[in-house]
Structure 1
């Protein structure tokens, strides 16, 4: 009996936090994986565990370059598009570069995928698309006006993907990520995400600095839940499940104050002094959404999504990884 040949995947931004976790997971599942990254925000050390894997190929290139995109999609069955310039504050400071990468680069990848006859294009969308919509939980079909240049770019991605599905027949699925965290997430830099940044500060016996009074809430989502969603989006055979967008979250919310309490509790098992570190509070951050909570009913119903990790369960895993890798 002939053995089934696994598909070839292109993971853009594959040296980044989410991208490198996807590369590792799908290599373990015996897919052929191509990573396209320009290392603007990704890191070579994220690839070290599999850089020499026989089914892995690294292309150093930029999604803003149409030739790089065309080269990367040759012979590819599925694209998992993670490449982007994240961060609301970065987009406020430099909207032009954010737009170049997140809109022009995204369009380049759509065109290249269409021309290469890629089977399906799965892309990282964002909960920032909900903008000033105040209703909770966030439901995919109800959004508000964007509150930052970053949010605009991620909404434009959804519009372009929809047009490419309707006009060119390219299957697309957008995953609106909600505050993803976990192993390999970079704690350094001006635009570091809140969880690794707080972990690093606490491990160095520094006070975590919270924007606002700490009562803003987020649907923190562990990386393994996100991997599950990407796999379901790529493999679903349900025709009703494609050419749409999904919240990619756990479906629960925690305040930043709750988050710091959990981090102090879990980290103090390694270093008892961390339990007594005080939190510092500052002004609200421009462009921030006060509260974020996803409805995951659509993903459950159409994709069979079943997230395994709550915030607390994910933090246990993440804190353990950070302690072993950052000390």
Structure 2
């Protein structure tokens, strides 16, 4: 397997790199990342080639795409609030960037491309659970850009015969997820705050629900997709139909950590949806062997990772993704593009 992972230094990308190297003997993994949101420490101690560059840079992307059999396209500017503050950057990275990746893959005769969309595309559609064939109505520039991501992937499949698969991610969480920026996801923010004694901030009343999906499970599906070159002519929800409100997440964290949590409730954020839950019939048909990870188990593994990460800065990189078996200790190779 000669695989390119765009955004491979990010949360999902770096987890995927390790899962592939752990489970596929002699896998040749290359990453392209500009490290605008991903971290170099996420790739410490692995054997993968890194092209330091942006998917908006044609030269860097062409260099990264050369000789690849398959691509998992994860590079993006995440976060609804970030896109509300800066919609043009979100569009450039997520929509234009996807077109660039698909064009580069087409030029390089890549045989399979998997792209990451988002449950946020459902937006104002109140139906639960969310079915892939129901209407979409994005409520934020981020959601609109991810709808463009999946639409372009499916259009390239129809127009050029490029085999693609577009996943709609739902609230992925787990070891290695960043808490330390303004647009951090809710679970790493909660876990870090609880463990460090900082205020636990909830935007809204805490009764909003999400279909939380554990990152290891997501990576197993992504690996299976590229291994079997799975394609589909519609987007596919990558979640399991669970519906957990934020107050329940906090209650689970109290049980796991043994610490009392008194959240501070703030007004809801612009662009956030109230409820999210996936219909997963299509996922089960395409990936019948996939097994969900219960939220309580995923939260426990996430807390354990944060506890180890917080135990000392000198050990953070070495302990990255402690719930995932390390694939190797050799340094990664870095190709710098200018």
Q: Is 2:191 the partner of 1:199?
A: yes
Contact kept, 8 Å, 1:15 with 1:44, in 2: the verdict is yes
Decide which of 243, 257, 261 is 1:267's aligned counterpart: 257
For the residues of structure 2 that align with 1:47 and 1:93, how far apart are their CA atoms?
Answer: 29
Moved over 4 A (4+): none
1:326 has 2:310 as partner: yes
Q: Aligned match of 1:109 in 79, 101, 105? A: 101
Residue of structure 1 equivalent to 2:32: 36
Match of 2:143 in 1: 151
Distance apart, 1:306 and its partner CA: 2.1
1:255 matched residue in structure 2: 245
Q: Which runs of 5+ in 1 are unaligned?
A: 1-6, 269-273
Taking CA–CA contacts closer than 8 Å with sequence separation of 6 or more, which of the two structures ends up with the larger relative contact order?
2
Match of 2:301 among 317, 321, 324: 317
From 127, 130, 137, the equivalent of 1:135 is 127
Deviations 1:102-153 (A, max 9, x none): 1111110000001111110001110001111100001111132110000000
In structure 1, the residue matched to 2:236 is 246
- In structure 2, what is the equivalent of residue 12 of structure 1? 6
2:21 paired residue number: 27
Residue 291 of structure 1 aligns with which residue? Answer: 275
Q: Does 1:48 align with 2:41?
A: no
1:63–1:69 CA contact under 8 A, matched in 2: yes
User: What displacement does 1:305 show?
Assistant: 4.8
Give SS of 1:244's match. Answer: coil
The answer on whether the counterparts of 1:121 and 1:172 sit within 8 Å (CA) in structure 2 is yes
Query: Unpaired runs of 5+ in structure 2?
Result: 312-338
State how far apart, in whole Å, the 1-side matches of 2:219 and 2:141 are. Answer: 27
Alpha carbons 1:228, 1:305 under 8 Å: kept:
no
CA–CA separation in structure 2 for the residues paired with 1:236 and 1:218: 29
Asked whether the equivalents of residues 8 and 14 of structure 2 are also in contact (C-alpha less than 8 Å), the reply is: yes
What is the DSSP-based 3-state SS (H/G/I as helix, E as strand, rest coil) of the residue aligned with 1:295?
coil
| RMSD of aligned residue pairs (Cα, Å) | 1.2
Deviation of 1:254 (Å): 0.5
Question: What is the alpha-carbon distance in structure 2 between the residues aligned to residue 223 and residue 148 of structure 1?
Answer: 24
Alpha-carbon deviations, 1:217-256, whole Å to 9, x = none?
Answer: 0000000110122122213366xx4343211113211000
Q: Which residue of 2 aligns with 1:302?
A: 286
1:249-300 superposed Cα distances (whole Å, 9 cap, x missing partner): 13211000001111122122xxxxx2x2311111111111100011111110
Output the CA distance in 1 between the equivalents of 2:220 and 2:284: 12
CA distance in 2, matches of 1:191, 1:244: 29
Pairwise CA distance, 1:68 = 1.1
Give me the TM-score of the superposition, normalised by structure 1. Answer: 0.92
